[in-house]
Amino acid sequence: MSGHSKWATTKHKKAVVDAKRGKLFAKLIKNIEVAARTGGGDPDGNPTLYDAIQKARKTSVPLDNIERAVKRGSGAEAGGSDWQTIMYEGYAPSGVAVLIECLTDNRNRAAGEVRLAMTRNGGSMADPGSVSYMFTRKGVIVVPEAGQTEDDVLLAVLDAGAEEVNNLGESFEVICEATDLVQVRTALQSAGIDYDSADSSFVPSVQVELDADGARKVLRLIDALEDSDDVQNVFTNFDASDEVLAELSAE
């Protein structure tokens, strides 16, 4: 289990009351707009849009903001931007691999902000393909514990194509092929199991174990990258023990 996944789950719980809530809202709204533009404005016929809306609602994004984003993306309302997805690759301190997914309407600005965050926090940019081969595109669904056991979740998703269920402490992480994401999520819903998020993500095949100092430096870099409005997601292959993560979350 990736330490970063556990850390991301901890951060997810704090996000709603976090000072960066407005920035998080903007990124979730951008996801909705892009999903509506790509697959249409009907969430019932557009699973990507459905999941983007669900994630925004779970994070308390106002319904009015969500509806306007769907209208902008689908063309029912003017004002949508021409968002482009760009992937950057690099290394964090301790040789940790980093994939940076940007959703931007200004390629030059995004590249500049990513490069600045990397160089200021001990990272370095890498050529395309030199890092991405260590990651595989997977479907990742985060399920709150809510009195359920790992076996309960596994039983609900096993026949739908889930590959593994990981216990993150107060939640479970369901991993599947990216193409099976909708049917696995639907299987959870059919079993009456709620979920926090369902995303297409990059999961590392090789992980780098870090001590508290190393993990602190990598997380500082991740925070700097995520502070950019253009950066939508940051994926890394660092791992850390529960003790290290507990030490860092207490800081």
* Burial track 38-66 (b if 16+ CB lie within 10 A, e otherwise): ebebebeebbbbbbbbbbbebbebeeeeb
pLDDT in tens, the chain (251 residues): 344 565 555 554 454 455 566 788 889 999 999 999 988 999 999 989 999 999 899 888 999 999 999 999 888 777 666 888 999 999 999 999 999 999 999 999 999 999 999 999 999 999 999 999 999 999 999 999 888 899 999 999 999 999 999 988 888 999 999 999 999 999 999 999 999 888 889 999 989 999 999 999 998 999 899 889 999 999 999 988 878 877 877 76
Look at residue 1 in the predicted model and tell me its pLDDT: 39
**Distance between CA atoms of 177 and 187, rounded to whole angstroms?**
14
* Burial track 113-133 (b if 16+ CB lie within 10 A, e otherwise): bbeebbeebebebbeeeebbe
* Burial track 199-226 (b if 16+ CB lie within 10 A, e otherwise): bebbbbeebbebebebbbbbbbbbebbb
Which domains are seen in the chain, by residue range?
3-74 (1.10.10.200), 84-133+206-249 (3.30.70.980), 135-204 (3.30.70.980)
H/E stretch holding 5 reads helix 3-15
Pairing of strands 135-144, 171-177: antiparallel
Contacts of 112 (CB under 8 A, 6+ apart): none
Look at residue 94 in the predicted model and tell me its pLDDT: 95
H/E stretch holding 7 reads helix 3-15
Q: How far is CA 110 from CA 22, 81, 114, in A?
A: 19, 15, 6
Residues 153, 131 contacting (CB under 8 angstroms): no
The closest of 17, 14, 5, 15 to 169, measured between CA atoms, is: 5
Residues 54, 194 contacting (CB under 8 angstroms): no
